[in-house]
Structure formats: C-alpha cells, structure tokens
A = this chain, B = another copy of it.
Amino acid sequence: MEKGILLIMDGLGDLNNKKGKTPLSASKKKNLDRMAGEGILGMLSPIGRGNIPGSDTSHLTLLGYPYWEYYCGRGPLEALGSGIKLREGDVAFRANFATVEKGKIMDRRAGRIPTSLGRKLEKKIKKIKVNGAEVLFRSTVEHRGVLILRGKGLGACVSGTDPHAHVQVPKSRALEKGSEKTARILNEFTKKAMAALCRAEENKGRKLPANAVLCRGAGAYRKIEPFAKRHGFNGACIAGGALYKGVAEYIGMDVLHVEGATGTSKTDLKSKARHAVAALRNHDFVFVHIKATDNCSHDKDAKCKQKIIERVDRELVPALKKTGANIIVSGDHTTASCTGKHTGHEVPLLCWGPGFRKDSVKKFDEFYCMEGGLGHIDGWDLFPVMANAMGKGKKVGT
C-alpha cells in the first residue's frame, strides 16, 4: 500500500502584486515545478468557496475532520499543542502577555517578549487561585500562552479579553446561558494576573512591561474519534507551531518531536525532512507543516515569503519526493502580503505520486493551478482524494 505526505505551507496562497506576481509565482522552485509537470494541479478552498479560513478550522478540515463538526475553538488546540493534557470539559483560551497602562491595552504582545521571560512570568501566574475552578497556565513561544479552567459547570461561550485594539481591557461576558461562571472566573483571573505581574521583578526597566494576560479563543475540549480509527491508517505530525501540533493531538495523530522545528523562518527544514522520511517507516500518512510562509505574509513581507518557499523547495521537497510517497502540497488559506490578512481566495494545490493522475500543467502557482486537472476542490474533499491515491479509501456500496 502507498504512503501519503501532506505538506502545508501556511498561508501559501497570495494575491498578485503590481507586476502580476505572487510570492509563489515569483519564486524559483524547480523541484515543485517538476512535480507539477509530473502530477496534477488544482485550486483548493479549504473551508468552501470564498470563506476565509482560520488556520485551525482549515487544518481540521484538510485532515478529514470538517470544521463545522469538529472545531472546538482555538484555546483547546493551542493548549494541546503546548503539551497540556486536557480533560473532557476543560475550557481553554489562547493567552497573550500584554502591556496595559491604567487599564488600557498599549501593546497586546508586550513588545513580543522573549520566550525566556514568558517562562519566568508563568511561575507568577501559576500561583493564582480563583473561586470555583482550577487554573492552569503555560507560556509557549514569545508572548504566547494558554490558560485552562478546569472544574464543573464551565461553559465555553464567553467573550474574550483581547479585542485586538488600544482600548480598556474588556470584561468577559457569557454569550450563552451556562457560561456565566466561566466569564466570572476569567475576569477574576485577569484581575489577579495583572496584580501579580505588575509586582514582577522581571518587568522592571521594560518599556513595554508584560503586566497583563489577555485571553481569547475560548473552547471546551471533548474527545473525538481518533485519526487511525476514522481513516483506517495512522498518521504523524511534523510541525513547529503549537496550534498545528494541537490540531494533530486533538485528532489523535502522533505528534513527533522535531528538533529545530520552531514555527518561525529560522525553522530547520532539513531536520523536518529527515523526521518526515523517518516517520514514513511506521506511519502511512505524514503531515508536514511550515509556518514561516504565513508569518511573512502577516508581516506584509512578500519577498520573505518567496524566500521561504524557495528554501522549502530546496531543503525539504527533494527528500519528500525521494520517498516515492503520494504528496500533496498546498496551503491552509491565502494570506495577502499586501494587507497581512487571511483571505478566502483559493489556494494552489499540487498532487504528485503513483496514486494521482497527471494533467498537462507544468508549473505550480496561483495561475497555473487554475488550469489544473483537479479543478476546484473544497477542503473537506481533499482527504478522501489523498486516501484514494494511497489505495486506502473506503468503498461505499458494492
């Protein structure tokens, strides 16, 4: 039976610049273009035509768990990705260390504090007690962290405290009945976290002290049917970013530890390649995630995105190709480098390997893919297409 690799370059799709070029179309990528010539192309709408995907909803869907049924909010996915074992009913939030002055948000990333500072501040936060639930907190990368509330009667339909704006820190509110307790506890936590952090030694002398924790992406964790049972074959995840590892953990893939995989533009692509090739020995399916493409787009740096694509083409793609596995290369959404935002434009899609047909298109980018033999495909149809190429699809009827 054939193996499969899904290589997702986060936010791969882009809009053309004034010269009509996108980072992908401008890049020198002879390996990907050769695969395009040998494979079949198409355009992918990860969560349906025109809809703007989040990375979380998109990845769930692309991995065979349609978002409308399986998405549980960003919080639990970030928490799982940072290595926290969640229990059924835990309510988790994505958290940011932020700078607040007289109650007003000055910088919602506290000047992107270093990870080491986050680790130190985590210790202060962990001492916080609230009424009616257990508080778990973990700092992850730079200003990022996760907050988990564990206890009885915690709903997850609450507003967050991170409005992405220079305003007073808002109070969390219950958005549905049954979530009042969660909102109350989050507000209590926010207050106590500010009190603890403003006393922290580590913030002394910082122009942008990390003196608050802002939370968003509330979600309640629940166990779902694991990957191998659902699909009939096992899968491994190779990613640096916590969210992607979290998605994989949530759906029961094996999340591998990959040294040098950082989820940044400094990620060690050759290490990722080695781990992906090794993972294929005892896994049928390997998901490889590259975050840096999206980071560049969010920074409105199309040139940087192009360079990452070129590095992926040089340092990662050849090793994957050599395995002879069926390979799908795409993105989880388009991120427009001109605005730095996710959009609902289709994402170029490349399928290569023994289980795929071949079309006549020779290059891999937003324009060539429009003419690809796979046509226009929705995200929830991609996994069946991969499973079929692997000879592991499920027959319906006789």
Contacts and interface: CB of A to CB of B under 8 A. Distances in A.
Determine the interface band of chain A, counting residues with CB < 8 A from chain B: 35 or more
A49 B383 CA distance: 9
Interface stretch (A173-181, A310-318, A339-347): A339-347
A56 B396 CA distance: 9
A49 B374 CA distance: 10
Given A16-B357, A398-B56, A398-B74, A51 B345 contact: no
**Count of this chain's copies in the oligomeric assembly:** 2
Contacts of A370: 357, 359, 373-375
A218 to B, nearest CB: 12
A58 B384 contact: no
A50 B393 contact: yes
A343 B371 CA distance: 24
A393 B343 contact: yes
Contacts of A385: 49-50, 344
A151 B298 CA distance: 58
A60 to B, nearest CB: 8
B47 A343 contact: no
A387 interface: yes
A53 B397 contact: yes
Contact of A357 (B15, B376, B398): B15
Interface in A65-119: 67, 71, 74, 94
B398 A52 contact: no
A254 interface: no
Contacts of A360: 367, 371
Contacts of A74: 397-398
Contacts of A381: 48-50
Interface string A375-398: 111100111111110010111111
Interface in A10-28: 15-16, 20
A361 to B, nearest CB: 10
B217 A52 contact: no
A293 interface: no
Contacts of A58: 397
Contact of A344 (B344, B359, B393, B398): B393
A57 B397 contact: yes
Q: Which of A344, A367, A374, A398 has the most CB of B within 10 A?
A: A398
Given A50-B386, A52-B395, 12 more contacts: A16-B358, A48-B384, A49-B384, A50-B382, A50-B385, A50-B393, A53-B397, A339-B391, A343-B391, A370-B373, A370-B374, A370-B375
